[in-house]
Amino acid sequence: MDALQLLEKEHKGVKALFRKLEKAEGREASALWEQIKADLIMHEQMEETYLYPPLKEEDRTEDLVLEAYEEHHLADLLIEEISRLRPSDEQWQPKIKVLQENIEHHIEEEEGQLFPKVRKLWDMDKRKRVGEQMAGMKQHATGSRGGSASR
Ligand SMILES: [Fe+2]
Ligand SMILES: [Fe+2]
Protein backbone atom coordinates (compact mmCIF):
# COMPACT_ATOMS: atom_id res chain seq x y z
CA MET A 1 0.00 0.00 0.00
CA ASP A 2 1.08 3.58 -0.70
CA ALA A 3 2.77 4.82 2.50
CA LEU A 4 0.76 8.04 2.45
CA GLN A 5 -2.52 6.19 2.10
CA LEU A 6 -1.56 3.96 4.99
CA LEU A 7 -0.80 6.98 7.17
CA GLU A 8 -4.00 8.77 6.15
CA LYS A 9 -5.99 5.70 7.06
CA GLU A 10 -4.41 5.73 10.51
CA HIS A 11 -5.10 9.46 10.89
CA LYS A 12 -8.77 8.76 10.26
CA GLY A 13 -8.71 5.92 12.76
CA VAL A 14 -7.18 7.90 15.58
CA LYS A 15 -9.49 10.88 15.00
CA ALA A 16 -12.44 8.51 15.30
CA LEU A 17 -11.05 7.07 18.55
CA PHE A 18 -10.70 10.55 20.02
CA ARG A 19 -14.32 11.30 19.16
CA LYS A 20 -15.37 8.10 20.92
CA LEU A 21 -13.28 9.05 23.91
CA GLU A 22 -15.10 12.40 24.18
CA LYS A 23 -18.22 10.52 25.18
CA ALA A 24 -16.63 7.77 27.26
CA GLU A 25 -15.94 7.61 30.96
CA GLY A 26 -14.48 5.24 33.54
CA ARG A 27 -13.13 1.91 32.34
CA GLU A 28 -14.26 2.52 28.78
CA ALA A 29 -12.35 5.79 28.69
CA SER A 30 -9.23 4.08 30.06
CA ALA A 31 -9.42 1.33 27.46
CA LEU A 32 -9.91 3.79 24.61
CA TRP A 33 -7.03 5.85 25.91
CA GLU A 34 -4.73 2.79 25.97
CA GLN A 35 -5.59 2.13 22.34
CA ILE A 36 -5.09 5.75 21.27
CA LYS A 37 -1.77 5.82 23.08
CA ALA A 38 -0.49 2.61 21.46
CA ASP A 39 -1.69 3.73 18.01
CA LEU A 40 -0.09 7.16 18.30
CA ILE A 41 3.24 5.79 19.49
CA MET A 42 3.33 3.23 16.67
CA HIS A 43 2.34 5.84 14.10
CA GLU A 44 5.03 8.28 15.24
CA GLN A 45 7.58 5.48 15.12
CA MET A 46 6.69 4.57 11.54
CA GLU A 47 6.92 8.19 10.41
CA GLU A 48 10.12 8.87 12.30
CA THR A 49 11.75 5.73 10.92
CA TYR A 50 10.70 5.73 7.27
CA LEU A 51 9.20 9.10 6.37
CA TYR A 52 10.78 12.00 8.19
CA PRO A 53 14.52 11.16 7.90
CA PRO A 54 14.66 11.08 4.08
CA LEU A 55 12.38 14.13 3.84
CA LYS A 56 14.55 16.09 6.23
CA GLU A 57 17.27 15.86 3.59
CA GLU A 58 15.06 17.49 0.93
CA ASP A 59 15.04 21.29 0.68
CA ARG A 60 11.33 21.34 -0.08
CA THR A 61 10.31 19.41 3.01
CA GLU A 62 13.04 20.08 5.56
CA ASP A 63 11.24 22.85 7.49
CA LEU A 64 7.94 20.99 7.60
CA VAL A 65 9.67 17.89 8.92
CA LEU A 66 11.54 19.81 11.62
CA GLU A 67 8.20 21.22 12.78
CA ALA A 68 6.60 17.78 12.63
CA TYR A 69 9.29 16.36 14.93
CA GLU A 70 8.47 19.08 17.47
CA GLU A 71 4.77 18.31 17.22
CA HIS A 72 5.47 14.64 17.87
CA HIS A 73 7.59 15.66 20.82
CA LEU A 74 4.79 17.76 22.28
CA ALA A 75 2.35 14.89 21.77
CA ASP A 76 4.76 12.55 23.58
CA LEU A 77 4.89 14.88 26.58
CA LEU A 78 1.12 15.07 26.77
CA ILE A 79 0.80 11.30 26.35
CA GLU A 80 3.19 10.81 29.24
CA GLU A 81 1.25 13.21 31.46
CA ILE A 82 -2.15 11.77 30.62
CA SER A 83 -0.82 8.28 31.34
CA ARG A 84 -0.27 9.33 34.94
CA LEU A 85 -3.91 10.44 35.29
CA ARG A 86 -7.22 8.66 35.65
CA PRO A 87 -10.43 9.57 33.81
CA SER A 88 -11.87 10.83 37.11
CA ASP A 89 -9.06 13.37 37.63
CA GLU A 90 -9.98 16.95 36.82
CA GLN A 91 -6.98 17.33 34.49
CA TRP A 92 -7.89 14.28 32.39
CA GLN A 93 -10.53 15.87 30.17
CA PRO A 94 -8.67 19.14 29.44
CA LYS A 95 -5.38 17.38 28.75
CA ILE A 96 -7.05 14.91 26.41
CA LYS A 97 -8.69 17.86 24.65
CA VAL A 98 -5.37 19.66 24.18
CA LEU A 99 -3.75 16.49 22.85
CA GLN A 100 -6.67 15.89 20.50
CA GLU A 101 -6.48 19.46 19.14
CA ASN A 102 -2.73 19.18 18.69
CA ILE A 103 -3.02 15.86 16.89
CA GLU A 104 -5.73 17.20 14.61
CA HIS A 105 -3.61 20.22 13.77
CA HIS A 106 -0.61 17.99 13.11
CA ILE A 107 -2.63 15.72 10.83
CA GLU A 108 -3.90 18.76 8.90
CA GLU A 109 -0.34 19.90 8.29
CA GLU A 110 0.83 16.47 7.21
CA GLU A 111 -2.06 15.86 4.86
CA GLY A 112 -2.37 19.45 3.65
CA GLN A 113 1.27 20.48 3.30
CA LEU A 114 3.74 17.64 3.72
CA PHE A 115 2.09 14.78 1.83
CA PRO A 116 1.40 16.80 -1.37
CA LYS A 117 5.13 17.55 -1.52
CA VAL A 118 5.99 13.90 -0.92
CA ARG A 119 3.72 12.93 -3.81
CA LYS A 120 5.86 15.16 -6.05
CA LEU A 121 9.16 13.85 -4.68
CA TRP A 122 8.37 10.12 -4.57
CA ASP A 123 6.75 8.16 -7.37
CA MET A 124 4.21 5.42 -6.67
CA ASP A 125 6.88 2.69 -6.64
CA LYS A 126 8.82 4.45 -3.96
CA ARG A 127 5.69 5.19 -1.93
CA LYS A 128 4.69 1.55 -2.10
CA ARG A 129 8.12 0.36 -0.99
CA VAL A 130 8.00 2.69 2.01
CA GLY A 131 4.43 1.60 2.72
CA GLU A 132 5.54 -2.02 2.86
CA GLN A 133 8.34 -1.18 5.26
CA MET A 134 5.88 0.64 7.51
CA ALA A 135 3.36 -2.18 7.39
CA GLY A 136 6.15 -4.64 8.21
CA MET A 137 7.23 -2.62 11.21
CA LYS A 138 3.67 -2.44 12.48
CA GLN A 139 3.04 -6.13 11.98
CA HIS A 140 6.23 -6.99 13.81
CA ALA A 141 5.29 -4.75 16.76
CA THR A 142 1.69 -5.88 17.10
CA GLY A 143 2.77 -9.49 16.63
CA SER A 144 5.07 -9.35 19.63
CA ARG A 145 2.42 -7.49 21.59
CA GLY A 146 -0.17 -10.12 20.72
CA GLY A 147 -0.33 -11.53 24.24
CA SER A 148 -1.55 -8.35 25.88
CA ALA A 149 -3.82 -7.34 23.02
CA SER A 150 -5.90 -10.51 23.33
CA ARG A 151 -6.25 -10.22 27.07
FE1 LIG B 1 3.22 12.80 12.33
FE1 LIG C 1 0.86 11.16 10.75
- Write out pLDDT tens, residues 23-32: 999 999 999 9
- Confidence band of 149 (pLDDT split at 50, 70, 90): very low
pTM of the shown model: 0.93
- Confidence band of 147 (pLDDT split at 50, 70, 90): very low
Tens-place pLDDT, residues 52-94: 999 999 999 999 999 999 999 999 999 999 999 999 999 999 9
Ligand nearest, relative to CA of residue 10: 2
Q: 120: CA distance to ligand 2 center in Å?
A: 18
Please provide the average confidence, as pLDDT, over all residues in the chain. Answer: 94
Q: 12: CA distance to ligand 1 center in Å?
A: 13
Residue 144 has pLDDT above 60, yes or no: yes
Distances (CA, A) of 90 to 54, 83, 86, 96, 130: 41, 14, 9, 11, 42
Q: 109: CA distance to ligand 2 center in Å?
A: 9
Tell me the HSE value of 31 on the side-chain side, using a 13 A CA sphere.
Answer: 10
